[in-house]
Every structure is written in structure tokens, then in C-alpha cells.
Amino acid sequence: MKIPENIRAIAALQPDFMGFIFYPKSPRYAEPLDIATLNALPKSIKKIGVFVNENLENILTTVTKYDLDGVQLHGTELVEMCKELRKAGYVVIKAFPIAEAYNFKVTKTYEGSCDYFLFDTKTDAYGGSGLKFNWGMLDEYVGETPFLLSGGIAADDAEAILKIEHPKFAGIDLNSKFEVKPGEKNVELLKGFIQQLL
């Protein structure tokens, strides 16, 4: 998210989280954001900054600048960083690329240091591939931390998502398949999809 009117339109759909990408190599790079638009968002929507292998000082500077509620770490960030950010009072979401069931084993080290894990499709880039991994593998995840599902979720996936019964399944991350262009969401498509899930 980065366009003020699009941010306001999506906020009207009342998502739990709204993500803003602070990875300069991403076509969805959000800076500079309109601070007044962010400040006007309802408190029920958690503003999440998405970072890739950024240092702690820069993350905290950005989080403070935009009064963000949390971070999503999409690189190879260490457990210590997750703990520091959580200790500072931020929601911490750590992304893990998934290609095979054994990829879930990496999450064990991060137990207790994150509020959520995010399982995304493993690619050569950091997110935004628009590709799915085999959701059947989710049964192999036996951790205690709730997880969000990401990776190529599209408007015709509502039925499959409703069938996921994993006890730690906490939500979905919607991105490229609901965009008009990078950083701008299709409001009507998202609205229809959300209604299917309710």
C-alpha cells in the first residue's frame, strides 16, 4: 500500500493488518508515505512495515516515523532482532520461504520471539512472486506460533482457504493477485473475496 486514496478505500474493508513495503528493490516500495493518511487509519487496523535484511536502527527509525504497529521481516533476519522488536512493543511477523515440508523446521529457532510466522512460496526473490506452494504441507507445521498464509492467493482460492483446519492458521496475506498495479489494490476484487470468507 502506498497511494493515499487506495489506503483509505482498503481501510473501509476493515482488514486486521495493512502492509507498507520498505524494501527499496520492491516495485511496491512505499516511501514517501503520506503520514496524515496513516494517522487517520482506525486503531483496529495494525500498520505493518515490511523489511528485508534491514538493520535494527533503520527499522526503528522508519517504524517511529510512520507510527507503525509492527514489522514483517522478509529476509534472513536473526532471532535476536525479532526479540528486540517484540520487546520494544511491536507486532513481529517473520516470513519463511516454503518449498518442501522440511522448511518448517527452521521456525523452531524463532518460537517465542514472534507473534506470527508467515509462510510464503520459496523463490529467488523476496516475496511478490504470485506463486503458491503446496498447502497440503501445512500439516507438517507443528509449532506453537500462529501463522499467516501467503504466496499467490487469488480471488478463486476462497473455498480452499476455508478448508484449512490447522489449529495455528491465523489469516492470509493478500498481495499481487489483488493489485491493479504494484502497490495499488483492486478494491472491488478484495471486497468480493473477503465477503466469500465471512
CATH label of the domain that carries residue 91: 3.20.20.70
Q: Residue 86 is placed in which grid cell?
A: 517484540
Residue 128 has pLDDT above 60, yes or no: no
pLDDT computed for residue 130 by the predictor: 67
pLDDT digits (tens, 9 = 90+) for 75-121: 999 999 999 999 999 999 999 999 998 899 999 999 999 999 999 99
Q: Do residues 71 and 116 make contact, with C-beta atoms less than 8 angstroms apart?
A: no
Q: Do residues 77 and 53 make contact, with C-beta atoms less than 8 angstroms apart?
A: yes
The CA distance from 97 to 152, in Å, is 13
Residue 1 has pLDDT above 90, yes or no: yes
pLDDT computed for residue 15 by the predictor: 96
pLDDT band, very low/low/confident/very high, at 198 (cuts 50, 70, 90): confident
Q: Do residues 24 and 45 make contact, with C-beta atoms less than 8 angstroms apart?
A: no
Q: Residue 116 is placed in which grid cell?
A: 506470527
103 lies in which domain range?
Answer: 4-197
Average pLDDT over residues 127-138: 81
pTM of the entire predicted model: 0.95
The CA distance from 141 to 5, in Å, is 38
The CA distance from 71 to 81, in Å, is 11
pLDDT digits (tens, 9 = 90+) for 31-71: 999 999 999 999 999 999 999 999 999 999 999 999 999 99
pLDDT digits (tens, 9 = 90+) for 150-192: 998 999 999 999 999 999 999 999 999 999 999 999 999 999 9
Measured from the Cβ of residue 35, the count of other Cβ atoms closer than 10 Å reads: 11
pLDDT band, very low/low/confident/very high, at 122 (cuts 50, 70, 90): confident
pLDDT computed for residue 35 by the predictor: 97
Task: Specify which residues 181 forms β-bridges with.
Answer: 184
Helix, coil or strand: residue 12:
coil
Domain count, the chain: 1
pLDDT computed for residue 131 by the predictor: 79
Helix, coil or strand: residue 170:
strand
